[in-house]
């Protein structure tokens, strides 16, 4: 049951992260009109587990971060997520 809940959770978070990155990139390409997500929102979704989908969208759209600090902080957020997953897996098993 835990694996089913985890799969549903990560599916939802990854769809949210991919959508955020996609909408943010499209709004940037079209002159900043419309929705522009703050970088902390991207980091939060990465920490929550959405970094695989966010990374895939970044590569698919050839996204270039607006700031130099985005990429290292994004990967730090991803590493924090992996560490949290490993911690939970150690407790559960």
Q: What is the pLDDT of residues 31-86, one digit of tens each?
A: 666 677 888 998 999 999 999 998 898 888 876 666 677 888 889 999 999 999 89
Terminus-to-terminus CA distance in the chain, angstroms? Answer: 14
The span from the CA of 32 to the CA of 49, in Å, is: 27
Give the range of the structural domain holding residue 66, as residue numbers without chain letter: 2-92
Counting the structural domains of the chain, the total is: 1
Structure tokens at 10: 């990560």
Residue-level pLDDT at 24: 84
- Note the pTM of the prediction, 2 decimals: 0.81
Residue pLDDT, tens place only, 70-80: 888 889 999 99
């Amino acid at each position: 049951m835990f694996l089913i809940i985890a799969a549903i959770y990560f599916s939802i978070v990854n769809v949210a992260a991919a959508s955020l990155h996609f909408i943010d990139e499209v709004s940037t390409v079209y002159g900043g009109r419309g929705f522009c997500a703050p970088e902390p929102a991207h980091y939060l979704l990465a920490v929550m587990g959405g970094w695989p989908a966010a990374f895939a969208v970044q590569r698919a759209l050839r996204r270039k971060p607006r700031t130099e600090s985005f990429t290292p902080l994004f990967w730090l957020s991803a590493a924090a997520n992996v560490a949290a997953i490993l911690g939970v897996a150690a407790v559960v098993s």
